Structure 1
Amino acid sequence: MDYVVSGAGVTRREVDSAENRRASRDWWDLDADEYQAEHGTFLGDVDLVWCPEGLREADARLLGDVAGKTVLELGCGAASGARWLHTQGARVVALDLSAGMLRHAQVAADTTGVRPPLVQADALALPFADGTFDIVCTAFGAVPFVEDSARLMREVNRVLQPGGRWVFSVTHPMRWIFLDDPGDAGLVAVHSYFDRLPYVEHDDKGVATYVEHHRTLGDRIRELIAGGFTLTDLVEPEWSPGNEQIWGQWSPQRGAIFPGTAIFCATKP
């Protein structure tokens, strides 16, 4: 794939923390309405869906019994997961960098009557004391959008109690080999798996408007271990029968052949 390096377009380049944070906050603020219009029905108002493949926490139980547990949903978006966890008896806080996404979380809270506390904050500087939570989780939130995901692992570890769980889903690292195409073109490997330069969309002045980061499976495991975690499972969800949704690069065609999501399950000793 050729990347445009002049004018508005896409490239692979380094970004610093300030540029990354600004791009992520502004992107999700501006995209919140469109994102919810396109994906809100699939995600539900009160449900924790781990991935476009359709794996639901109600079936997978990757978090274990959450009743009575203190839980942080990190990068919560519209916080449908936090609302579901609340209905299961958890004491939940939902956190996101984007005011636009949290606006949708507030609307859904008013609609459903399920109102976990909402916090706007940076995942790399969590505004909580050490050992606050029994569980931290995120479905495609925060982890791939920060430039220093190793630091994020350490920050999550800090706010977890000993024995706490950390479960997060991200795009499966092998998907970075392919184009973002749900059809035939997305079945051909074109990128190096080992290219860790961030994917950056930018405006005509070269200012980043969207940033996402690739890490290999080995990178993720090393980050978790260095962050003080024990990896307990790595889930690669299969495409759910009857799921005909196309979500960006995710599709039944690709989902039948190779994984699109990796879910890392870890504990703090």
Structure 2
Amino acid sequence: MSGVEPESGAVARRPVSDAAARRANRAWWDLDADDYQAEHGAFLGDVDLVWCPEGLREADAGLLGEVRGRRVLELGCGAAAAARWLATQGAEVVALDLSAGMLRHAASAAGSCGVRVPLVQADALALPFPAGAFDTVFTAFGAIPFVADSAAAMSEVHRVLRPGGRWVFSVTHPMRWVFLDDPGEAGLTAVHSYFDRRPYVEQDARGVPTYVEQHRTLGDRIRELVGAGFVLRDLLEPEWPDGHDGIWGQWSPLRGRLFPGTAIFVTTKPAG
């Protein structure tokens, strides 16, 4: 759910190593945490699970199923509003993020709203939990778009889920990568190949990546999930709701009413 606004002349589509992507994004989110929360915090709330800029809420969608008494991990939690909401629904929640800056906001919000969950700083490719530790793992635009080896991240989620557990995640809809990251008329013209899997990279004057976001096609995502051992139960493409006039980066009413901006994958780990 980045909605990153590129700096002129500092953008490329090129391969980036996993280590370089990890360094860039950890530094980016540490530095951008204050601005991100100032811009989007009110929309996300302090205690709520909002899946996407279209405004789909877990309280209405029920994508995670029954959560009371379940052990739940929020992956790439940001300020952890979703984890706190799940705690109010009776779940036993752990919130994890790579960014100390975002976790600082998670701790601050917990103090102000009075709902606290354990916070863990860790990498999605090396989850510090034993096998089968959780009944449910989820993320709303966290972690998955930012790791070069997202197939490995899927395998890590599979490892920490119990048999029969659920893995649900939202990402930018892959078809959005065909268009410019623009909420206006310029964002309605196809300019990139859907099959160009090189990441979007913002870089400094020396060419060092400062922000990296990865593109995978719908087919890529499904193959990653199946390869990790998951069963795909649903794929949601939320429609832009009437009366929603907000703009979040490249998300806008203009584009949202024409083509999807978010894909939400609902999967399970087989019970047997």
Match of 1:3 in 2: none
**1:34-113 alignment runs, 5 A limit:** 34-113=35-114
1:241 to partner: Cα distance = 2.2
Match of 1:16 in 2: 17
TM-score under structure 2 length normalisation:
0.96
Match of 2:232 in 1: 231
CA distance in 2, matches of 1:240, 1:72: 29
1:16 to partner: Cα distance = 1.1
CA distance in 1, matches of 2:156, 2:264: 19
Q: 1:130 touches 1:159 (CA, 8 Å); kept in 2?
A: yes
Match of 2:188 in 1: 187
CA distance in 1, matches of 2:239, 2:80: 24
User: Secondary structure of the equivalent of 2:248?
Assistant: coil
Q: 1:201 touches 1:211 (CA, 8 Å); kept in 2?
A: yes
1:17 to partner: Cα distance = 1.7
CA distance in 1, matches of 2:258, 2:21: 33
Residue 91 of structure 1 aligns to which amino acid in structure 2? Answer: E
User: Secondary structure of the equivalent of 1:218?
Assistant: helix
CA distance in 2, matches of 1:41, 1:147: 30
Match of 2:203 in 1: 202
Which runs of 5 or more residues in structure 1 are unaligned?
1-6
Which runs of 5 or more residues in structure 2 are unaligned?
1-7
CA distance in 2, matches of 1:128, 1:48: 23
Aligned residue pairs, count? 263
Q: 1:8 touches 1:204 (CA, 8 Å); kept in 2?
A: no
CA distance in 2, matches of 1:18, 1:217: 25
CA distance in 1, matches of 2:66, 2:191: 42
User: Secondary structure of the equivalent of 2:139?
Assistant: strand
1:114 to partner: Cα distance = 0.4
TM-score under structure 1 length normalisation:
0.97
Match of 1:26 in 2: 27
Match of 2:143 in 1: 142
Q: CA RMSD in A?
A: 0.8
Percentage of pairs with the same residue: 75
Match of 1:127 in 2: 128
1:15 to partner: Cα distance = 1.1
Alpha-carbon displacement from aligned partner over 1:23-49 (angstroms, at most 9, x marks no partner): 010000000000000000000000000
Residue 254 of structure 1 aligns to which amino acid in structure 2? Answer: R
CA distance in 1, matches of 2:9, 2:128: 35
1:240 to partner: Cα distance = 2.0
Q: 1:73 touches 1:95 (CA, 8 Å); kept in 2?
A: yes
1:244 to partner: Cα distance = 1.0
CA distance in 2, matches of 1:54, 1:73: 18
Alpha-carbon displacement from aligned partner over 1:73-117 (angstroms, at most 9, x marks no partner): 000000000000000000000000000000000000000110000
Match of 2:5 in 1: none
**1:168-179 alignment runs, 5 A limit:** 168-179=169-180
CA distance in 2, matches of 1:163, 1:48: 22
1:141 to partner: Cα distance = 0.1
**1:215-254 alignment runs, 5 A limit:** 215-254=216-255
CA distance in 2, matches of 1:20, 1:85: 30
